[in-house]
Structure 1
Amino acid sequence: MPTESAPADPLQPGRTGTASVLVTPAQMAPHLGSGRAPVFASPAMIALMEAAAVDCVEDALAPGQETLGIHLDVQHIAATPEGLKVTATAELIERDGRKLVFNVEARDERELVGRGRHTRIIVDSSRFRSKVASKRPA
């Protein structure tokens, strides 16, 4: 008698995602409060890495789910001036239940500018949003 097998989990290691941005004053350190140097800010690089991780997995989640970033360990190793494009990539390297771990990196048009590891967790969107709403001041 044939048995029905469970559908394959689409969130397997090896998936990749990307996100890009053209560096403008809005992404530079002075604007974001992360220093005075006129370069791509570390907070902007981190946001781009998170966007790449979201791109990597969000389309494979079950309806009503989303991911939240819960840990970052990154190095910002090279400066990028205004006018260059920065592209972040994320590769899913591990899944443990709801926890997703990614290798992330960012490159400008010349070189590697950042790298590290990022962890996200899968949550039920409505339950999470309800919990956040309950924290709002009265």
Structure 2
Amino acid sequence: MNEFNLEVGMKARVEIIVAQKDTAEEFGSGGVKVLATPLMIGLMEKAAMEAIEPHLPNGYGTVGTNVNVSHLAATPIGMKVYAIAEVIDIDRKKINFKVEAFDEREKIGEGSHDRYIIELEKFISKSNSKKAKE
């Protein structure tokens, strides 16, 4: 247990049906009509957020700080894809996740993802003051 009441083993799952807008062709990350790697990573990040953010106090959120993922297999338009994120380590405000993605046939991605707990108001005002200096 830690100050944010998070625990190793917390997990969440998110899913989509792959549409044209989700393809590598649309993202500009490849010329084919299969699930884009950036979208798969986004699903993994969303699953990680959903695993812990409902347990954080009001005024807190998370930001992604590291993604180390392999995209293992292509998924065509019309197929369901889901990502699962599981908390595997908590180091104060740094949360490490095991992430995996699957389509209706097989595992399509796996790796790790780190998120950092932030105070939203402080983070946003710090971000805005950096932009003002630029």
Same fold (TM over 0.5): yes
Greater fraction helix: 2
* TM-score band, normalised by shorter chain: over 0.9
1:67 aligns with 2:62: yes
Greater Cα shift, 126-135 or 51-60? 126-135
Contiguous gaps of at least 5 residues in structure 2: none
1:106 aligns with 2:114: no
> Cα offset for 1:46?
0.3
Structure 2 partner of 1:92: 87
Q: Secondary structure at the match of 2:47?
A: helix
The equivalences for 1:12-31 within 5 A come to 12-31=7-26
The equivalences for 1:1-138 within 5 A come to 10-136=5-131
Structure-2-length-normalised TM-score: 0.94
Structure-1-length-normalised TM-score: 0.91
Structure 2 partner of 1:3: none
- Number of corresponding residues: 133
Greater Cα shift, 91-100 or 125-134? 125-134
Given that residues 4 and 56 in structure 2 are in contact (C-alpha distance below 8 angstroms), is that contact kept between their aligned partners in structure 1? no
Contiguous gaps of at least 5 residues in structure 1: 1-5
Relative to 1, partners in 2 of residues 1:131 and 1:83: Cα closer, same or farther, differing over 3 Å? same
Q: How many percent identity over aligned positions?
A: 41
Deviations 1:21-69 (A, max 9, x none): 1100111001101000110000000000000000100001111100000
Distance 2:59 2:3 in 1: 19
Amino acid corresponding to residue 76 of structure 2 in structure 1: P
Distance 2:126 2:53 in 1: 21
Relative to 1, partners in 2 of residues 1:38 and 1:62: Cα closer, same or farther, differing over 3 Å? same
Distance 2:38 2:73 in 1: 14
Where does structure 1 differ by over 4 angstroms across 4 or more consecutive aligned residues? Answer: 6-9
